[in-house]
Structure 1
Amino acid sequence: MKLKVKEVADMVGISVRTLHHYDEIGLLIPSETTESGYRLYSDDDLEKLQQILFFRELDFPLKRIKTILENPSFDRHEALQMHRKMLLEKRKRLDQMIETIDKTIQFTKGEIEMTNEEKFAGFDFSQNPYEAEARERWGDEAIDKTKAHMAAMSEDERKAVERQFDAIYRKIACLRDGAPDAKEAQAAIQEWYDFLNQYSGHHFSLETFKCIGQMYVDDERFTKNIDQYGEGLAEFMRDAMAVFAERNKKSE
């Protein structure tokens, strides 16, 4: 039995507008359209929609999902196994963060003590959950170089890099109430620029660096992730990175 757009939307819990958008961009085209213009979805269409929504739950951008599903080598069973593994990892991280929240509530009430390390249990910036987005924006080459560069490090080296990353972000967060063009802010942004170029295995031009800063604000997922270090940090970094790029263009 084939379903109309409204029936699919109600069953799945998404909007009719979303299904229309998927159709318009060629991501999910209904297998049949009646003479009166009604879109009809088959069981195969619904299976594809399930795949799309699994990928969306894992923050894959629509263009990337379309590329994956159109690949002749795409294996639905293999993809489901991957979805399951990634969602279990996501659940584990969320459970840890919920536990940290519960402990923090007790801490604020004076019921328990918390070390600084315990206050950030569950936060993990060592891996980028939006790798698919990064691949789409900058291409596979830059991301593959980064992954290869990190993979070549020992466990101790990777942990040292993660600590340096964390320290830089905390430093910038402490400066976010000041001016983005201030000497201290620009010095911290210089550290961030040098860090990216040193440990990514890829050299980012000043213009790309500026665009990365803009992305911190344009993409709410990045904003949410960065602002965990302090509300407004993403906007501050955007502004400070733009100042840094403009000031240093002549010497690039």
Structure 2
Amino acid sequence: MMTVKQVSDISGVSIRTLRYYDRIGLLSPAEHTEAGYRLYDDAALERLQQILLFRELEFPLKDIIAIMESPTYDRKQALAQQIELLELKRQHLDDLIAFARGIKMIGVRAVDFSAFDTSKIDEYTKRAKEKWGNTKAYEEFSHKKRTSEENERLMEDFAQLFAEFGELKGGSPESSEAQAMVKKLQGFITEHFYTCTDEILSGLGKMYAADSEFREHINSAGGKGTAEFAAKAIAVYCGE
């Protein structure tokens, strides 16, 4: 048997929350001492683990009670479903991480941030998910599924492009070599992220030179002045 404090220590759930769970009938102690202190056995701890998994999936307490008190509740089946939903949540987070890296590296700031699906994964209660308007560019970007390792390699390849820009920055942005690099950059973005039209490319070029964060990131790959050179080469390519 474990006291409420011991359970709190090993689970990270506050004593106040454990008492609240008892009060609403979600998690009751196995017994009480003569002094009235709660004591929890292995079965109670196992139930707490199930509760915490549901909470990690952002299920409301009332739904957790309804699920776990249902006569058809099957612990093994519920665990399998929890694993599946956690994997979906992990994929969602991987997508957000990839998108954030895109914002940092290639300027996906042009994309409407309402494109994020902010709804919670909730297959049990079948709640309607919110749908936000997506831009075409983001739709293309979000449908490209990659592992975290693939994303890291992609960012390395993208940085290499600016390293190549850096090797040319001593020359003219109008040179055939510089213009070929711009074309290569546009093709890379189109292949791996979204269709990079001349209009989008022009906006990215302006952002590379004007935004301190982008400028610093690009210059770290190609050396000081690379971001400004790439921006000028892009402007020439786009006929500005």
Give the structure-2-normalised TM-score: 0.49
- Higher relative contact order (CA closer than 8 Å, sequence separation 6+): 2
Bigger Rg over Cα = 2
Give the structure-1-normalised TM-score: 0.47
